[in-house]
Structure 1
Amino acid sequence: MPHPLLRSLLPLVADLSRELPDEERYRRLLHSLRQLLPCDAVALLKLEEDVLVPLAVDGLSADTLGRRFRVSEHPRLKILLYGHKPVRFAADCELPDPYDGLLDGHGPLEVHDCLGCPLIIQGQPWGLITLDALDAATFGSVDLDTLQAFASLAAATVMASERIQQLLRGFEEQRQLVEVYKRVAGGHAPRELIGQSPTHKRLQQEIALVGNSPLTVLITGETGVGKELVAESIHLHSPRANKALISINCAALPETLVESELFGHVRGAFSGAVAGRSGKFELADGGTLFLDEVGELPLPVQSKLLRVLQSGQLQRVGSDQEHHVDVRIIAATNRDLAEEVRQGRFRADLYHRLSVYPLQVPPLRERGRDVLLLAGFFLEENRVRMGLRSVRLTGEAQQRLVAYRWPGNVRELEHLISRAVLKALVTPAERPMMVTVEAAMLGLDSEPVIVPEAQAPDVEHDPLPTAGEGLKASVDAFQRRLIEQALERHQGKWAEVARELGVDRANLSRLAKRLAIR
Structure 2
Amino acid sequence: MVDFTALQTTLLTDLSSELPAALRLQRLVVGVRDAFACSAVVLLRLDGDSLRPQAATGLVHEVLGRSFTMGKHPRLAQIMASREPVQFAADCELPDPYDGLLQDSPDAPLPVHDCLGMSLFLDGRLWGAVTLDALEPDHFDAQTLTSLRACALYIESVLRVCRLEHDLRSLRLSRPEGVAGESDAPSSILGSSAVLRQLLDELGVVADSELPVLLQGETGVGKELFARWLHRHSPRSDKPLVYVNCAALPETLAESELFGHVKGAFSGAGQDRPGRFETANGGTLFLDEIGELPLSIQAKLLRALQNGEIQRLGTDEPRHVDVRVIAATNRKLWEEVRA
Q: TM-score, normalised by structure 2?
A: 0.53
Aligned to 2:140: 139
In 1, the alpha carbon distance for the partners of 2:272 and 2:129 equals: 18
Please give the secondary structure, in 2, of the residue aligned with 1:273: helix
Aligned to 1:68: 67
**Structure 2 matches for 1:209-228, cutoff 5 A?**
none
Determine if contact 2:122/2:159 at 8 Å carries over to the other structure.
Answer: no
Aligned to 1:171: 172
**Structure 2 matches for 1:455-474, cutoff 5 A?**
none
Confirm or deny that 1:322 pairs with 2:322: no
Confirm or deny that 1:11 pairs with 2:10: yes
**Structure 2 matches for 1:28-427, cutoff 5 A?**
28-107=27-106, 108-111=108-111, 112-140=113-141, 142-175=143-176, 273=255, 275=257, 315=263, 320-322=269-271
Please give the secondary structure, in 1, of the residue aligned with 2:44: strand
Q: Structure 1 88/138 Cα, relative in aligned 2: closer, same or farther at 3 Å?
A: same
In 2, the alpha carbon distance for the partners of 1:76 and 1:22 equals: 27
Structure ID, larger Rg: 1
Q: Output the amino acid matched with 1:133.
A: A
Please give the secondary structure, in 2, of the residue aligned with 1:127: strand
Please give the secondary structure, in 2, of the residue aligned with 1:275: helix
Aligned to 1:381: none
Q: Output the amino acid matched with 1:130.
A: T
Please give the secondary structure, in 2, of the residue aligned with 1:79: helix
Q: Output the amino acid matched with 1:127.
A: G
Q: Structure 1 27/317 Cα, relative in aligned 2: closer, same or farther at 3 Å?
A: closer
Q: Structure 1 87/177 Cα, relative in aligned 2: closer, same or farther at 3 Å?
A: closer
Determine if contact 2:172/2:178 at 8 Å carries over to the other structure.
Answer: no
State, as a whole percentage, how many aligned pairs show the same letter: 34
Q: State the 1:4 CA deviation.
A: 2.0
Deviations 1:82-124 (A, max 9, x none): 2101111111111111011211022413252111111111122
Q: Output the amino acid matched with 1:173.
A: S
Determine if contact 2:172/2:179 at 8 Å carries over to the other structure.
Answer: no
Please give the secondary structure, in 1, of the residue aligned with 2:126: strand
Deviations 1:192-223 (A, max 9, x none): xxxxxxxxxxxxxxxxxxxxxxxxxxxxxxxx
Aligned to 1:221: none
Q: State the 1:268 CA deviation.
A: 7.0
Aligned to 2:242: none
Aligned to 2:197: none
In 2, the alpha carbon distance for the partners of 1:22 and 1:173 equals: 20
In 1, the alpha carbon distance for the partners of 2:265 and 2:37 equals: 32
User: 43-52 vs 167-176, which deviates more?
Assistant: 167-176
Q: State the 1:35 CA deviation.
A: 1.7
Q: State the 1:63 CA deviation.
A: 1.0
Please give the secondary structure, in 1, of the residue aligned with 2:98: coil
Q: Structure 1 80/170 Cα, relative in aligned 2: closer, same or farther at 3 Å?
A: same
Structure having the higher strand fraction is: 2
Q: State the 1:178 CA deviation.
A: 9.8
Q: State the 1:23 CA deviation.
A: 2.0
Q: Output the amino acid matched with 1:31.
A: V
Determine if contact 1:268/1:274 at 8 Å carries over to the other structure.
Answer: no
RCO higher in structure (CA 8 A, sep ≥6): 2
Q: Structure 1 20/136 Cα, relative in aligned 2: closer, same or farther at 3 Å?
A: same
Aligned to 2:294: none
Q: Structure 1 178/94 Cα, relative in aligned 2: closer, same or farther at 3 Å?
A: closer
Q: State the 1:42 CA deviation.
A: 0.8
Gaps in structure 2 of 5+ consecutive residues: 181-238, 240-248, 274-339
In 1, the alpha carbon distance for the partners of 2:162 and 2:82 equals: 25
Determine if contact 1:43/1:56 at 8 Å carries over to the other structure.
Answer: yes
Q: State the 1:154 CA deviation.
A: 0.5
In 2, the alpha carbon distance for the partners of 1:44 and 1:74 equals: 16
Q: Output the amino acid matched with 1:125.
A: L
In 2, the alpha carbon distance for the partners of 1:92 and 1:115 equals: 13
Q: Output the amino acid matched with 2:144.
A: D
Please give the secondary structure, in 1, of the residue aligned with 2:257: coil
Determine if contact 1:40/1:103 at 8 Å carries over to the other structure.
Answer: no
Deviations 1:107-149 (A, max 9, x none): 4132521111111111221111111122212213642121111
Q: State the 1:152 CA deviation.
A: 0.9
Deviations 1:32-70 (A, max 9, x none): 111210111111111111111111110101111111001
In 1, the alpha carbon distance for the partners of 2:179 and 2:134 equals: 52
Q: Provide the alpha-carbon RMSD of the alignment.
A: 3.5
In 2, the alpha carbon distance for the partners of 1:316 and 1:178 equals: 29
| Segments of 4+ moved more than 3 angstroms | 175-179, 266-270, 276-279, 314-319
Determine if contact 2:89/2:138 at 8 Å carries over to the other structure.
Answer: no
